[in-house]
Amino acid sequence: MPTAISWLRRDLRLADNTTLGAALSRAEQVIPVFVLDPTLLERYAGTKRLAFLLAGLRQLDADLRARGSRLIVRRGDPADEIARLVRESGASFVFAEEDYEPYAQERDDAVATRAPLERVGSPIVRPPSVVLKSDGDPYVVFTPFSRKWKSLPPPRASELVPTPERIRTPRGIDSLCIPEEPQLPSGVAFPAGEAEAQHRLDAFVRGDEPPIYAYETARDRLDLDATSQLSPYLRFGMLSARQTIVAAYQAIDRADNEKSRRSAETWLDELIWREFYMCILYYFPEVLEVSFREKMRGIAWRNDEASFDAWCEGKTGYPVVDAAMRQLVQSGWIHNRGRMVVASFLVKDLLVDWRWGEAFFMQHLVDGDPAANNGGWQWTAGTGADAAPYFRIFNPISQGKKHDPNGSYVRRWVPELVGVPNAYIHTPWTMSLMQQRESGCILGVDYPPPIVDHAVMRERTLQAYRAAREAYARGKS
């Protein structure tokens, strides 16, 4: 009786699971397995993300048991554990979804030398080898990448792999218990699992007035729940990229006016950005260590630790920055606009190396993904592929006023400012002492004054970036 191993990694679901579908098509018995890899757990698993992962494994195990199967859990070097499982079970096949991160490529190559590994499917709709220039080179600018991506046939609902009704898994296979999740902060509001992921997708794209049709105009509002908040589920494959993109195309087709259609297309573009960054990491793995743009590798960072600590703790004196940083630490997630604002502040107001911020995000983000996190940080820093111009520096005051006009987002996450009037909520230091007393927020006592002057720091940062570019040009001449 042929037996196959379905090695699950970033595809913790039953619907549209290419790995599981391949195993079921080739064998009568299938062993779903997840390997707790100490290297990945140490490198990438912050407490919140680890808790989300473990809760997701527990839910996946329950879903498998409802179909006559169960999740086999092992811990150790994947090459050792998969080879051992092949010997124990007599499996003829091992199927795993492709993974484009540098460590994952090395890991899978090592497994393939010791087990009959077949890599099928992809965590993105268009694998890196598909979206290339006519000369075979990868794209490093998003717009032509997106144009090429969209020129290919869109995925259809009929292509989604159906959820299996029954999975026959042999008895007697040893498995560890799924570890108990670490205690999560009360602010983390992401229930793990495929059912929750599908519910969120449905709520965003379907119904009488789905949020996707207001996405273009509302997506940057920090004070509104106008985004899908699907990123943690995509990170661990509790929802497939293909499911989300099929849903996006369906929403585009259902749109009954141009505004709704543009909004759905804007959300599709955001999904394509995820694919773009994964392709960048695949072809340029060095971006995890250095700036993508060589001319930006010589920036003289200030790297003041006290300023960095104030940023981490949400005590910079700039309300929208502090609100976003406290949201990150307490909830494990930040609105994308908030991510750009705090990243710009760290890099271009404090002149702290973007890698410090990237690492801090990975410690706290439930959706922390090396490709997307790195891509986002380098975009804001002006050092990455198709990055924002180096002279684009977000003003934390105007960003707050524009994207949190009534201050409700700031008041939610920075309770010291709850009594501050709207006119001062993004500039509390401009209140008179009497106004501070009336609002219950004394600057320097209840809430810090700004740790830097934005206008002054902007000029200093521009000078540092120009100096790096000029030094690079001299070295090339």
The residues assigned a catalytic role are 270, 273, 301, 336, 354, 377
Nearest to 191 by CA among 229, 150, 164, 247: 229
**3-state DSSP helix/strand/coil percent for the chain, to nearest 5?**
55, 5, 40
With CA atoms as reference, report the closest residue to 46 among 366, 388, 320, 298: 366
**What whole-number distance in Å separates Cα of residue 259 and Cα of residue 212?**
11
From the list 194, 199, 197, 201, the residue with the least C-alpha distance to 250 is 201
Nearest alpha-carbon partner for 260 in 301, 316, 218: 218
**Cβ(95)–Cβ(115) under 8 Å?**
no
Helices H, strands E: what count in the chain? 20, 5
Q: Please tell me the distance from the alpha carbon of residue 26 to that of residue 23, in angstroms, as a whole number.
A: 5
What b/e readout covers 211-225, taking b as 16+ CB neighbours within 10 angstroms?
A: bbbbbbeebbbbbbe
Q: What DSSP string describes 38-95?
A: HHHHHHH--HHHHHHHHHHHHHHHHHHHTTT---EEEES-HHHHHHHHHHHHT-SEEE
Spell out the residues 6+ positions from residue 10 whose beta carbon is closer than 8 angstroms to its own.
Answer: 97, 99, 123, 235, 236, 237
Residue 317 gets which letter from DSSP?
Answer: S
Type of residue numbered 31 = I
Q: Which amino acid is at 220?
A: D
Scored b (16 or more CB within 10 A) or e, 280-306 reads: bbbbeeebbeebbbebbeebeeeeeee
Q: List the structure tokens of 198.
A: 């599908």
Longest dimension (CA), the chain: 82
Exposure letters 88-99 (e unless 16+ CB within 10 A, then b): ebebebbbbbbb
Secondary structure letter of residue 347 according to DSSP: I
**Amino acid in position 420:** V
- What does the buried/exposed string (b/e) look like for 359-378 if buried means 16 or more CB atoms within 10 Å of the residue's CB? ebbbbbbbbbbbbbbbbbbb
The vertex-171 CA angle with 169 and 174, nearest 5°, equals 105
In whole angstroms, what is the distance from residue 151 CA to residue 134 CA? Answer: 13
